[in-house]
Structure 1
Amino acid sequence: MRKSVYLFSFLALSLLIGCDNNDDNATDNQSINGITISTDQVSLNQRLDYTNSGVIAIENNSSTQKLAASNAPTSFPLVQIAEIKPPVDSNGKTLQASHVAVNGNYAYVSYIMRGDVYSGAIDVIDVSDPYKPKLVTSALIANTDIASLTYSNGNLIIGAAKDVDKDPLLTSPAIVINMELSSGLLTDKYKINYLESRVTTDVAANSSSYFAVTGDNGSLFKLNTSTKTTSAKTAVADLRSIALTSDKVVTLSGTKGVNVYNQSTLALQKSFTTSTDVSGAKRTMDVDGTKLLVSEGSNGLGIYDINSGSKLQTISVSAAGEDNVTNAVSVNDGYAFVANGALGLNVYQTGSQLSLLGALGIAGSSNYVKSSGDYIYVASGTGGLKIIKMEKPNTTFASCLSYGLYNQGRDLILNSNEVKSYQGATAINSAIVNSGAVLTHCGSIAIVNNLTLNSGGTFNMRGSFSQGKFQLANPTELIINNATLQVEGSVVIWGDLRLNSGAKINFIGNDSSITIYGKVIKNSNVTITGTYKDTENKLK
């Protein structure tokens, strides 16, 4: 059966099917009921790509010039730690990332097949090691697009569409899968709800229920977590997205706007219009207190009062274009991340009004974004998934409390014998510490390009420090020329470390670590002291 041009459209719940499998003959590649689960670490590791890893600059979208051009530093250090290449299905076709759900250190990524053929996958990524994400398992799901997913009480709730020609029980493609997880990992134990529509666009869950939305002549469904049967349903056309508050269910329709329901009864409490959207486009929402942030395609981002429906702010896309559309939004810890298609990913500080910090300097388009914990996950179609870490200060040093926030330019130069001390979160382009100068930083600091410590200079860092980019052809460098780097915390060097004559690295305390992804060039008379963990064994 050919897919509808409308990729995300849907309708009514009619049949509950249970698929339980207890195959004790598990292997690294299990194929059960059309699901092939791989835990083969050798093949999974081949999908990790560090080519574009390293410290990320934030660019000024409004003028299309980098913030560095105006010499303005930021207090938002970011590091791209890896990209996950999309999986290839059994027919050799590359899939496209569609959605991300997060629970603790696990990120679950869904995939669809673009075009008429149904094919999907789910990846599980472990980010417990902050700078070394691990693709721990991946499942290919034959004849099924996986459009959305969410974690709920040890289960994965999955919104999908299945080819009706491949399943005699299907009368229409839309399904919802409730999959049991084992210690956070995928299994072959699941229940399927068949829906009378073409695809389930989005899912959400609380402790006792899970919810699904479908489009075209679609519906909002509430399902009981224990019985996995429908407890309530209401019809709404062209549904794209769903979000939950503590007591509300919020839906987004491409034609009808936003509806707000009582979470227990699905009684309609409020409705208000948003921009009418093009058919078939994925859109998401997120909630920030009493604000509802809605991605509105070519009309940008709309921010509404969730109680009154009043529009509080409109953020337009910066340039017109077919692929310049706001696809998704995610709010996390005082920041809003907005995926704008070919225009990339914008970052805003939240507050009474969203305030633009800029656009992340990452390659490729941004079709979907999810931020949770210290991480930002950006789906880029067949470009796969980017994993970006926010470098947040996680330790307060009593001896640093008198230091101010960084207030110099994006390119820091300390002149001979100059002394500067800062605390907090700092992101700059480059730094040079000249003869006899002393730079002290407590908190988190990220430097996009080179750091040079010249003769007699000292850099004291307490907390976390990330520097450079992983570029095999033209790597960035951290250069120590007869100078001293003192480390109390964690250092990640994405490029090369050049230790010239007289260079010293002193590790303070018992918990310091250093990770070097590039080469170490070590000349004579180099001293390295203290207790430290060398994660890549580069300082030997």
Structure 2
Amino acid sequence: MRKVYFLIASMTTLIFSCSDETTVYEDPNNNDNLRLESNETLLENSVLYDKSGVLDILDENTITGKYASSAKAQPAGDYPLTLVAQVDVPSFQGGENLTASHVVVAGDYAYVSYNTVDAGFVGAVDIINVKNPRNPRVTSRLYYTNADINAIDYDNGYVYLAGGVDSEQSVTATANSFVAKIYAPDGRFDLDAGITYGFQDGYNATDIEVISDKIIVTSGQNGFVRVYNKSDLSTVVEAPYSDLRALAANETNIAVLDASAGVSILDQSLNTIKDISIDSDFGINTKRTLDYYGENIIVSEGSKGAGIYNGSTGDFVEYIPILLDPETVDDADVVTNAVATNDNVLLMANGGAGLSLSEDKDNADTSIVGIIQLEGSINFVASKDDYIFAASGLEGLQIIKLNRPDESLVARCSNLSGYSGSSNLNVPVSSNESYRGSKRFFDFDVRGSLLLCGSWTVRNEVTVHENALFEMNGNFAVARNSRRGDVTVKSGATLRIEGNLTIYGDLNLEDGASIEFIGENNAVNIFGSVNRTGETTVTGTFLDVKDKF
């Protein structure tokens, strides 16, 4: 067991409840081991756009060289994703090697926990305003100078943390694992309200979830799953397990993952309903998760990938293996740490092997789409609405937009055919083409007339040639901030926009070029410059996000 000199050892003002397992600290600001970041400029600069832009997805055919070894052009890919922004990992004296360990999204905020890759124990917690995910803001940051924070949840104005404590070094801790309850209204920690801690046996608290009026916490080797009363962290019920790593709960049942045995389905009183035996190697002191997925349960099983089991019968359904990029992956880092779902999308946080995206099609096995090309070791993943939030180790939190087509736009373009051609789009002179859908392109040249309805990304550059017409209805994103690509509208050409246009590069308008915005709800986000040569025309209503026009 790693030792942690937890912050509670030297706090001066204590109030004990009737239970020796719950402690309230009235004035934690007097302790050097717990500190709020007060530099607003530092918080503002924690949001990075250096690598923002269009994301590649490395699929199996690309990895095996199928396209390179044949004359067949690579087809345009599904899932036109974009990296919106990153939140840099907190760093302070004594805490220079923090990694993002867990993220939960609730309401307008994302809550991120951090622990350390070093032998000591250091941690932090961020609250990030993601009401407008295209412009995230870190609103509050809390440093723990001698404690890892391994998991996090939020409910009704309070942040709940799970971490570890060395009870041998603390005069007040009754066990090694802890749960903390911190008041955080409107996206800011309020330490003056005090912090409530609860303790339980086990080497380290590994997961936490708030359900109704209860808090459920798991602790690792020789630990427990314990249900706490949410109001005061008094113990409701507990059950011992050998090596708990994670939990998933709903209003009816609680599922726990024991690395020594598998998954147990419990009722609210922690009575066993069903055991699902799993013989995978879950590793030692490593993060693993599980989640409900319709009638099934998905379990992150380390080097095996993700296992899917029927939640009622316990029957094995299928494995989703880890797709590998052989040039960038160390075998020791090829593990599935966490899984998340969003409608028919399944996301696997595969450590050094990256973030894998699969889709669940009706009446068919789960199909692997590929590896989303992100940097960092992906420790945890969450997804809400049209966004993915990846806790990416030393790379911090990465916010990804799925760019799903707006259903109303699809309906308006319902008579169009879906695009199924090459990833290098080239519309010849005198050709009139129109498509709906959501695809990823490499190159994009329009010499004739083109209408696209839906969501689309282009890896490189876009050129609308002389006297050509390109109309887009929906979302269109070009290049990325670290590999910029321009959109060029040549002489006599027209770019007609109804929706959202994002360019990680310049917009070049040559003499006689025109841009027309249709409707009232348009937005243009240009990370480079708008360069206008000669007589150019821009008409219509639009939001100029970065004031480039």
How far the C-alpha of 1:66 sits from its partner, in A, is 8.1
1:387-446 Cα shifts (integer Å, max 9, x gaps):
111102225145422112222221111011211222232322221101xx2211222222
How far the C-alpha of 1:67 sits from its partner, in A, is 9.2
- Rounded Cα–Cα distance in structure 2 between residues aligned with 1:447 and 1:39: 40
2:86 to 74, 83, 100: 83
> How many positions carry a matched residue from both structures?
519
Matching residue of 1:244? 249
Does residue 412 of the first structure (1) align with residue 425 of the second (2)? yes
Equivalent pair of 1:68/1:410 in contact (CA under 8 Å): no
How far the C-alpha of 1:227 sits from its partner, in A, is 3.5
Matching residue of 2:263? 258
How far the C-alpha of 1:89 sits from its partner, in A, is 2.9
> What letter matches 2:461 in structure 1?
N
2:311 to 306, 315, 334: 306
Distance 1:66 1:424, change over 3 A: farther
> What letter matches 1:392 in structure 2?
R
Matching residue of 2:46? 47
3-state SS of paired residue (2:336) = coil
1:464-503 residue pairs with structure 2 within 5 A?
464-471=475-482, 475-482=484-491, 483-503=493-513
How far the C-alpha of 1:178 sits from its partner, in A, is 1.6
> What letter matches 2:457 in structure 1?
A
How far the C-alpha of 1:31 sits from its partner, in A, is 6.8
Distance 1:165 1:476, change over 3 A: farther
Matching residue of 2:99? 96
- Rounded Cα–Cα distance in structure 2 between residues aligned with 1:303 and 1:196: 30
Matching residue of 1:366? 378
How far the C-alpha of 1:118 sits from its partner, in A, is 1.6
3-state SS of paired residue (1:183) = helix
- Rounded Cα–Cα distance in structure 2 between residues aligned with 1:142 and 1:365: 23
> What letter matches 2:23 in structure 1?
I
How far the C-alpha of 1:470 sits from its partner, in A, is 0.7
Matching residue of 1:19? 25
Equivalent pair of 1:367/1:380 in contact (CA under 8 Å): yes
Distance 1:94 1:165, change over 3 A: farther
Distance 1:171 1:115, change over 3 A: farther
Matching residue of 2:146? 143
> What letter matches 2:44 in structure 1?
N
Equivalent pair of 1:428/1:447 in contact (CA under 8 Å): yes
Distance 1:286 1:31, change over 3 A: farther
Equivalent pair of 1:147/1:200 in contact (CA under 8 Å): yes
Distance 1:399 1:199, change over 3 A: closer
- Rounded Cα–Cα distance in structure 2 between residues aligned with 1:513 and 1:488: 9
- Rounded Cα–Cα distance in structure 1 between residues aligned with 2:262 and 2:295: 17
Does residue 390 of the first structure (1) align with residue 402 of the second (2)? yes
CA RMSD of aligned residues (A): 2.2
> What letter matches 1:383 in structure 2?
E
Distance 1:250 1:66, change over 3 A: farther
- Rounded Cα–Cα distance in structure 1 between residues aligned with 2:245 and 2:498: 48
Matching residue of 2:526? 516
- Rounded Cα–Cα distance in structure 2 between residues aligned with 1:244 and 1:350: 22
The percentage of aligned residue pairs carrying the same residue is 30
Equivalent pair of 2:97/2:117 in contact (CA under 8 Å): no
1:169 to 169, 172, 175: 172
TM-score under structure 1 length normalisation? 0.91
How far the C-alpha of 1:312 sits from its partner, in A, is 0.6
> What letter matches 1:59 in structure 2?
L
Matching residue of 1:3? 3
Matching residue of 2:120? 117
3-state SS of paired residue (2:41) = helix
Matching residue of 1:332? 342
1:157-236 residue pairs with structure 2 within 5 A?
157-164=160-167, 167-188=170-191, 189=193, 190-236=195-241
Matching residue of 1:429? 442
89-98 vs 332-341, greater mean Cα deviation: 89-98
How far the C-alpha of 1:315 sits from its partner, in A, is 2.4
| Structure 2: gaps of 5 or more residues | 5-18, 325-329
233-242 vs 462-471, greater mean Cα deviation: 462-471
| Structure 1: gaps of 5 or more residues | 5-12, 24-29
How far the C-alpha of 1:98 sits from its partner, in A, is 0.5
Equivalent pair of 1:3/1:115 in contact (CA under 8 Å): no
Equivalent pair of 1:143/1:163 in contact (CA under 8 Å): no
Matching residue of 1:7? none
1:33-75 Cα shifts (integer Å, max 9, x gaps):
7432225331112222222110111111365158986522233
249-258 vs 314-323, greater mean Cα deviation: 314-323
1:263-302 Cα shifts (integer Å, max 9, x gaps):
x211110011111322111101111111111111112211
Matching residue of 1:459? 470
TM-score under structure 2 length normalisation? 0.89
3-state SS of paired residue (2:120) = coil
Matching residue of 1:27? none
Matching residue of 1:345? 355
1:95-132 Cα shifts (integer Å, max 9, x gaps):
11100011022111100122332211111112222322
- Rounded Cα–Cα distance in structure 1 between residues aligned with 2:486 and 2:60: 28
Does residue 440 of the first structure (1) align with residue 445 of the second (2)? no
- Rounded Cα–Cα distance in structure 2 between residues aligned with 1:14 and 1:372: 38
Distance 1:292 1:481, change over 3 A: same
- Rounded Cα–Cα distance in structure 1 between residues aligned with 2:489 and 2:168: 65
Does residue 321 of the first structure (1) align with residue 331 of the second (2)? yes
Matching residue of 2:10? none
